A and B are shown apart, each in its own frame.
Chain A
Amino acid sequence: MEKVKIYSRFERFWHWTQMALILLLMITGFEIHSTFEAFGFETSVRLHSAAGWAFLILTIFAIFWMLVTGQSKQFVPVRNNVKQQAMYYMVGIFKKAPHPVKKTVDSKLNPLQRIIYFGLIILVFPVQLITGFLYLFFHYPDKPFALEGLEAVAVLHTLGAFLLVAFVIAHLYLITTGHTVTSNLQAMITGYEELEEEEKEV
């Protein structure tokens, strides 16, 4: 076992800022949806809009970072070991079986994570951002272009929000399934995680 740096400073900043913004967006968003009362409707609207802008800016930085560092490869789904990973969560984890796919610096995400995160990055985030900003800038049937009201935009945005909430809940639980219960959490805070030694590529 060796302590390896797997999350760079930007990745950690990105992650925790995203967490904070998504949490804020979730609370304010569902207040706007009239699911519960939190800050008051008007405050929630203003917070939600500002957080949406912050999220957009963060996303632009993240895309820039991915392109520059090539880390986008981490999020590309792979065919191998998808089934094994699923079997691990359903069976292996109860038998103290080893993780089927080794976590390495070059491949931090397991095959299931890759699929889920890829889905978030390619589908859910863009849909939330696009519908969110349509919500902000498109208001009435003919401004700036003809659309039959907010309904389609709003319903799509709500759908994305539910998916994100479900993801966050599952994510909070699944981070406890690392080497130890807190190793994943520690890694995302400190950047370092104890990984099994790997063959050093030369």
Chain B
Amino acid sequence: MQFFQSVLLRLSTTFVTLLGVAVIVFFVIRVVPGNPIAMMLPPGATESDVTRLTALYGLDKSIPEQFLIWISGVIQGDFGTSITTKQPVLQLVLNRLPATLELSVMALIIAIILGGLMALTGTRLRGTKTEAAIDVTNGMALSVPDFLWGLILILTFGVLLPIFHISGRVTPSLQLPFTTNFYLTEAVLRLRFDLWLDIAAHMFMPALALAIPLAAIIGQLLKQSLKETMHLDYVTLARTKGYSETHVILHEALPNAILPTLTLVGVQFTFLIGGTVIIERLFSYEGLGNMAIDAVINRDLPLIQGIVILFAVIFTGFNLLVDLTYAALNPRLRHA
């Protein structure tokens, strides 16, 4: 009962957050310079053309009035129409969302594998030169931002050694039998591993660029927790029982050391989704982030609003999910 109440409370604060985001994005993009009408009209358009088009899009009304019209539409699930493409914003955004989600999840998986391997190898070989090398690699991975990794990857594995595709989501000449936009997932479900390979080869580099800094954070934290756990008596005791060092790390230390890392992954995943904006642009990947940059360039106000709201929904929704998972896993939080 108490759990249910706290869920309700948490949900209502989520709605307040989303409303705040809506207000801020709506007013900010109207205050900054740039006029969508001016972007649409050809040079030499008359004053009356401008006035007519402004009225058509409702941009002649006062800003609070525009906000009320927009927000009442949003509540009914109508996010307006994109100024540049003349398509419903909701449909545009939802079409792109799967691409970004697949990219983020792939990046997260790569980050967990890389970070986990670094932490486990570093712990297994602690005190050796290899551990020092891992620490240095970790520091480097951490201090270079994701978009720079993107550029480095493009230059090395796209240009010098053309192994992976450097742009797009799939080779354009391929026939796609998909009904949803979750290409990578659907390729597996339809057992089209030829397509899966092509899509994965397109996604690998942007996902890796996103994953490297996160892998470094995961590797660092997990290694630190493992180090602390390795000093505990039950780990030493497992050694006196005659277990191998690898067994001791994997079975005694890791399960107890992994919790702080899981917490971190939950928080970092939302940052990773934010990172997709620049990375998608860099790799011409047809996701939400790329669309967001186009929308800003074209001053496509309804589309910008729609994308920002969707990002906010993903962020708050994911945080809500993380909080609820903790509450469910940790009895102390549940009754707090």
Question: Is chain B a partner of chain A in the same complex?
Answer: no
